[in-house]
Chains A and B, each alone.
Chain A
Amino acid sequence: MINFLQNDSIISPLGFGTEENIVALRSGTSGLQKHYNKRFFPEGFYAGLINTAKIDEHFSDFDDPAKFTKLEKLIMLAIGEVLQTSRLESLQQTALVISTTKGNIDQLGRNEFSKDRIELGKMAQIISDFFEFPHNPIIVSNACISGGLAIKVADDLIKSGKFKNAIVAAGDLVSDFVLSGFQSFQAISPEPCKPFSNDRQGVSLGEGASAILLSSEETENSIKFLGAATANDANHISGPSRTAEGLFSAIEKVIQKAKIDRFELDLISAHGTATLYNDEMESIAFSRSRLQEIPLNSLKGYYGHSLGNSALLETIITKYSLLNNELFTSLNFSGQGTSKALNIISKNKKSAINLALKTASGFGGCNLAMILKNC
């Protein structure tokens, strides 16, 4: 049994809705801009932030923006668009799976909403109740692979026969909490992040939400989800493995599980955070899996790293690469910067794309790989 990725939505610094995002990628526009944070970055930092007034303007079609937190509104906008375009008869057989690492963490220490809004379960319940999902929402919080893992969890739920469909949604914010944390690791780049590049200096953070419908039914413009696998590095909780054990293992498992020929892959949508160690680790994994010739990009140069949102967002973009036979440039790449050479996409181009690999890695040594295929 195979499930299909159907309608989707991306709410990001590059636009409200997937269409605006694809247009921005085609024109090479980045959502990363310089922002100032008096407390942690008086000199400024680059990030992909979404203007609050703009969110409220869009959200006022749904409800009173004052009733919900910034992240709740972002996720609800994404889910709302998917529900609107999908026209499911009822939600009775539809699961809601939400991915986030930190949820409403920007509300910690504030008193704008009830205290329990900080709990991921409470946030998910509010979103679920708004759309009147009849079943309890399922929450995935597994660091920066969460967005991809949420699709895997949804796939397993549909395969068990409990549901026919699942709305998979994800979202995370650039908060003082996360910003100061990455800064404490000295991981924030002083310029827009440059994934896999020889002059990369670290991460740019981003915020946003995305959502997609995973269904047991094939429709027009849907993509086959051939499976996903995860594997831990068993090496270090904050540093990637020098042998890329976990990512390599996840890639090998999913290639086997999806029963594909690795040399038929047309695209790798990598994680590519632009830290020295992460990108190096990924190059080792791709090289060990003999995938170094496959065209590869990281989308972090457009969006920044949106944590629990990133893998879902990047899966959706990969879906459009497959549907439109279109490769997107790995933005801000100036020259080979990993010990193992990769085939980094340097120019947007049309090319026949039938089979794609999406990967993600995160704190705690977690790694994920998934395979998508054209119908």
Chain B
Amino acid sequence: MRKGKILENAKVLFSSKERETSAEFLKSVYKDLKLNYPKFFKMDLLSKLGFIASELLFRNDSIPASTALIFANSNSSLQTDENYFESMSSFPSPGLFVYTLPNIMLGEISIRHQLISENCFLIMETFDAELFENQILANIAAEDGAKAVCGWVDLHSDEYDVFLSLISAEGELPFNAENLQNLYCSK
């Protein structure tokens, strides 16, 4: 998900008609997917991005409860931190404060899909395919037949960059850092 566009396996799945803010974009996609999940509206933008992307990723598959979530981004929860910081001068909001941690999106995704699985949220300056590869292999090896999601969900100055990839024992493309990097870079 980048600049108002969603690609699924390199095909355009959704494209905004006009330039929207990230909040408007997410609302349009939510409607387009005909989702009915009231908790969505309580989430901060970062969690909404991760949530929508995982809805798309999981929509055609059954997802085992052991599916590991290995996520990262560059800007942590900075945009929400700034919003919470503003609320501090009037009434500090617990509903905002809880989202000032980037791994909250892993909780949201786990609740939605009932995943009682490994979580890891890393901060990387840019998408680091080798580090993802290392962490995903380590977590998949720990459980036989386990799947993993490699997730990059970054938000800064209302610009978003979201890439999710499902890693499992089946599939066409071998899992390695090079293929992961190429997928992330594909436009």
- A contact residues vs B (CB 8 Å cutoff): 40, 101-103, 105, 108-109, 118-121, 124-125, 136, 138-143, 149, 152-153, 156-157, 159-160, 162, 176-177, 180-181, 183-185, 229-238, 245-246, 249, 253, 257, 362-366
Contact = CB atoms under 8 A, between A and B. Distances in A.
A172 to B, nearest CB: 12
14 contacts: A102-B81, A105-B81, A136-B128, A153-B135, A156-B134, A162-B134, A185-B94, A232-B119, A235-B111, A236-B107, A249-B116, A363-B101, A364-B105, A366-B106
Contacts of B92: 40, 180-181, 183-184
A229 B101 contact: no
Given A136-B125, A180-B92, A366-B119, A185 B111 contact: no
A110 B42 CA distance: 29
B76 interface: yes
A162 B108 CA distance: 33
B181 interface: no
B102 interface: yes
B119 A184 contact: no
B98 A363 contact: yes
Given A105-B81, A141-B121, A157-B134, A233 B116 contact: yes
B134 A365 contact: no
What is the interface of chain A mostly: helix, strand, loop, or mixed? mixed
Size bracket, chain B contacts: 35 or more
Interface of B: 65, 69, 74-76, 78, 81-82, 84-85, 88, 92-94, 97-98, 100-108, 110-111, 113-125, 128, 131, 134-135, 137-138, 142-143
Contacts, number: 150
A353 B107 CA distance: 35
Contacts of B125: 121, 125, 136
A143 B103 contact: yes
A91 B110 CA distance: 38
A68 to B, nearest CB: 19
A15 to B, nearest CB: 29
A210 to B, nearest CB: 19
